[in-house]
Amino acid sequence: MGVKDKIKYIFSYKIAGKLLIEYNTKKTFKNFKPPKNWRTDILAPSLRTGVYTKEIIAKHYLEGRYVSGVKPVAWVTSGAPIEILKALGFYILYPENHGALCGARKVALEISEEAEKKGYSIDICSYARTDIGATLSKKTPVGKLPKPDLLLCCTNICQTVLYWYRVLAEYYKVPLIVIDTPFVYDEAKEHDIEYVKKQLEASIEVSEKVAGKSLSFSKLKEVVRLSKMAAELWLEIMNANKNKPAPISVFDQFIHMAPIVEKRGDPETVDFYSKMLDEINERIKNGIGAIKNERKRVLWDNLPIWYKIRFLSEFLAENGVSVIASTYTNAWGELAPMMDIERPIESMAKTYVYPILNRGTGHKLKTMETMVKEFDLDGAILHSDRSCKPYSVGQMDQRLKLLNELGVAALLLEADHNDPRAFADEQIKSRLKAFMEMMD
C-alpha cells in the first residue's frame, strides 16, 4: 500500500468527499423536493429516502476513484457470491451496475461504440459492450473506475459473463475466479451443490492471496448476516406492493435496487432499506400510490430498459397503469431465506445456484403466476431483451400461458436493456396502447 495513495484516499474520499456528499444529502433531505420535471400530476412524489440511494452510490464510485493501492479491488458479476471478498476487505465493483448507470445517463451507446470499433459485435450483450468499451476508452460518467486486482465471474446469470470476464482478464492480466453454477432444469442435484461448494472453497485461497490476508470466518458470518438482512428488507419493500394502491413502482425499484446489488453485506445498506421500508409503510398508511390513478396493476419481466425508464414510467402512469411487481427486482430478495449465517459456505453454494436466471423457463412462469395472484395483477409486460438470452428465451411460451391459462393480458416488448438503437418510441407506444386495450 503506497503512503501517497493512502493519504489521497483518506483526504479525498474518507474526509472531504464523504463529508461533502453527506452534507448534500442532509440538505436535500431536509428541503426535500421531487426532481425537476417530476410529473406530480400522475406520479407520487419521489421517495424521500431516495436521496440516500444517491448518497450510497455517489460514495461507492467516489471511493472507487481513490481506492487503488489502498484496498484490493475486485470486479464481479451481479449474481456473484461476494461475501468472501467483502469479508476480506475488497472494494467491489459491478460492471453490470456501471453499465446500467451508463444506460440511465444515456452514455452507454457512445461507450459501447468504443468496443464495437475494436471488433466486438453489435450482437453481444450491451452491458458487456458498455463495460469493454469503458475498459478500452476509460470513458465513464463516474470519473474513473479502479483497475481490478481480481475478477470474479459466476455463471448463475448467464454464460455471457464467462466470455466477457475472459476479455477483462486478458486486458487487465489479473486472476479470474470462475464459479460455475450448473443450470437447474427442475431441482439442483447434490453433486451440483457440492461442485459449487468446492469452487467457493477454492476461491478463498486465490482471494486471500490477492488480499494479502486470511479470511476470518467470524467476519464472513457477519457479512452473510448483513447481506441476508438487507435482502429480507428488500423483499419486504417489494411485497408492500400487495397493498392497493401499490406504494412503489417497479421503475422506482430499478433505481433503488443499486445498493442491494452492489452494497450488500454493508451495515449502511441495512439502514438504508430499513428507512425506505418506513417511508413505504407511511405511504401505505396514507393511501399513497406510486401513481395517482392506479387503474391497472402490471408485472415487468426481465431487465429494465435503462435509457427509457422515465419515458415508460410516465407513459404508463398517464394511462393509469402501475407497474408494481418484477421478476428482476424480486431476484435480489427471494433467496434471502436460503442464507444460513451459521453455515455460510454451504448455504452460499445452494443460494447462488438458485437465482431465477439459473432456473428453467417453467420456474419463471410459476414465479410470474404467483406474482399475478399475490399482487392481484391485470397484466404482464415481458421485455424481450436482445441482450439477455437466458432471461428472454421462454418468454413466448410464458406469455401464451399467462394469456390462455391465467387470463392475464401479456405483452412481449422487443427492446434492449442498454442499447437505445433497439427502441423506437412510437412503435413501443402503440404496442403498449394495444396492451392496455387488452386489459380493459
Which residues of the shown chain bind another protein in the complex (CB under 8 A)?
Answer: 118-121, 123-125, 128, 155, 158-160, 162-164, 166-167, 169-170, 178, 180, 182-183, 185-186, 189, 191-192, 195, 198-199, 202, 360-362, 365, 384, 386, 389-390, 392-397, 401, 414
Nearer residue to another protein within complex by CB, 162 or 438: 162
Alpha helices in 257-394 (DSSP H): 258-262, 267-285, 309-318, 327-330, 344-351, 361-374, 389-392
The secondary structure of residue 414, as a DSSP letter, is E
Nearer residue to another protein within complex by CB, 196 or 257: 196
Nearer residue to another protein within complex by CB, 69 or 390: 390
Q: Phi, psi at residue 141, to the nearest 5°?
A: -75, -5
Q: Is 434 exposed, middle or buried (0-12, 13-18, 19+ CB in 10 A)?
A: exposed
Residues 174-192 as b/e (b if ≥16 CB within 10 A, e otherwise) read bbbbbbebbebeeebeeeb
If one counts every other C-beta atom within 10 angstroms of the C-beta of residue 64, the result is 21
Provide, rounded to whole angstroms, the least separation between the CB of residue 73 and another protein: 21
Provide, rounded to whole angstroms, the least separation between the CB of residue 405 and another protein: 12
User: CA-to-CA distance for 75 and 92, rounded, in angstroms?
Assistant: 6
Provide, rounded to whole angstroms, the least separation between the CB of residue 251 and another protein: 24
User: CA-to-CA distance for 290 and 238, rounded, in angstroms?
Assistant: 12
Q: 410 is written with which cell numbers?
A: 401479456
Provide, rounded to whole angstroms, the least separation between the CB of residue 212 and another protein: 24
Provide, rounded to whole angstroms, the least separation between the CB of residue 387 and another protein: 9
Provide, rounded to whole angstroms, the least separation between the CB of residue 82 and another protein: 19
User: CA-to-CA distance for 238 and 383, rounded, in angstroms?
Assistant: 19
Provide, rounded to whole angstroms, the least separation between the CB of residue 196 and another protein: 9
Nearer residue to another protein within complex by CB, 184 or 277: 184
Nearer residue to another protein within complex by CB, 343 or 389: 389
Nearer residue to another protein within complex by CB, 43 or 412: 412
Nearer residue to another protein within complex by CB, 41 or 187: 187
Nearer residue to another protein within complex by CB, 186 or 437: 186
Nearer residue to another protein within complex by CB, 128 or 439: 128
Provide, rounded to whole angstroms, the least separation between the CB of residue 439 and another protein: 23
Are the CB atoms for 92 and 262 separated by under 8 Å? yes
The SS3 assignment for 141 reads coil
Provide, rounded to whole angstroms, the least separation between the CB of residue 191 and another protein: 4
Nearer residue to another protein within complex by CB, 150 or 235: 150
Nearer residue to another protein within complex by CB, 320 or 394: 394
Extract long-range pairs of 52-57: CB within 8 Å, 24+ residues apart. 52/25, 52/272, 52/275, 52/276, 53/255, 53/256, 53/258, 53/259, 53/272, 54/25, 55/21, 55/22, 55/24, 55/25, 56/258, 56/259, 56/263, 56/268, 56/269, 56/272, 57/101, 57/258, 57/259, 57/262
Provide, rounded to whole angstroms, the least separation between the CB of residue 390 and another protein: 5
Q: Give the type of residue at 419.
A: D
The SS3 assignment for 6 reads helix
Cα→Cα distances 379→313, 329, 363, 408, Å? 15, 17, 19, 5
Provide, rounded to whole angstroms, the least separation between the CB of residue 132 and another protein: 9
Cα→Cα distances 140→61, 102, 111, 165, 185, Å? 11, 7, 8, 19, 38
